[in-house]
Structure 1
């Protein structure tokens, strides 16, 4: 048997390794695509966490907003909460979706840390989150005045992220 043939598997292995290594660098790990971009916010009927009154997708119409998915069990949500309070104080409309959480704990959280939300949708079973394709908390959607989702951010909303999202949000005004 020709000794050169013994090196063919090694050559194939090295070529596959190089392709794998090059492919790792091309992936944008900060973006999780959403099929809901440029689609209407999913229909829902729920109760507002604060008042217990009914809210639906129609409650989101009228002006651009951020829809923030959060939970008391989420440490990253606590990290972003102060910045959300800052945005709300600057006049940014924010709607909350309390995801897979206890309503009582959520109300306590909002009392303790401030409530940047116009209202919160209680989503204890995660059904609305599932309809939105939520991977976990926190996640934030940019929604225009007609209720169309224009962008999605997975992870905490902070000054660095807002610097990138703010032009898109302002373009919806």
Structure 2
């Protein structure tokens, strides 16, 4: 009986060790996902026309907007949802950028309830030029969207020039998005 006592004592710590190991892995994953130096996810759509869409506007549900309606000036398409915790982290960064008025920022509300999206914008503010809604997620498939937040830079002609997966940060805007904007302006015919 005395031989089993040490074994029971060491077994008592096993659940604590397992929980600590899982916690360390979760922490490491979160820290890696917040790395502002990670590269933008390559997309087969870069350099190609933005997928055709016809989506309702969040604040005017009877109004439909198409991809052609947004042509004529570049825009940043930002995929978000009220259910997305990373979108909440990104929102102040996106708001500061939208306030610079360097570019139209178009919201792409993905798989959300209308009331939830409206409440979220009322609570955190609306930095968007316009918010398109994809309640069923069908348009998102054509864009290759598989999570939120994701952000696309679309030029005046409707061609996708850049994609970023994950929450935008000031560092990402400074090191990736702004150089792409400078390049778009340099490519404009005089």
State if a TM-score over 0.5 links the two structures: yes
Q: CA deviation at 1:84?
A: 1.1
Q: 1:61 pairs with 71, 89, 108, which one?
A: 71
Give the Å deviation of 1:30.
3.3
Alignment of 1:28-47 (within 5 A): 30-47=39-56
Quote the residue 1:131 is aligned against: 142
CA distance in 2, matches of 1:31, 1:82: 20
In structure 2, the residue corresponding to 1:130 is in which secondary structure? helix
RMSD, aligned CA: 1.4
Equivalent residue runs for 1:1-173 within 5 Å: 30-52=39-61, 53-91=63-101, 92-164=103-175, 165-173=177-185
Q: Residues of 1 paired with 2:178 and 2:38: CA distance?
A: 21
What's the TM-score once normalised by structure 1's chain length?
0.80
5+ long unaligned stretches in structure 1: 1-27
What's the CA shift for 1:46?
A: 1.3
1:123 is displaced (CA, Å) by: 0.5
SS at structure 1 position matched to 2:118: helix
TM-score (norm. length: structure 2): 0.73
User: How far is the alpha carbon of 1:70 from its aligned partner?
Assistant: 0.4
Going from structure 1 to structure 2, the CA distance change for 1:29 and 1:84 (only over 3 Å counts) comes to closer
Q: How many residues align?
A: 146
By how many angstroms is 1:169 displaced?
A: 1.7
Structure 1 distance, partners of 2:88, 2:80, is 9
Structure 2 unpaired stretches of 5+: 1-36, 186-190
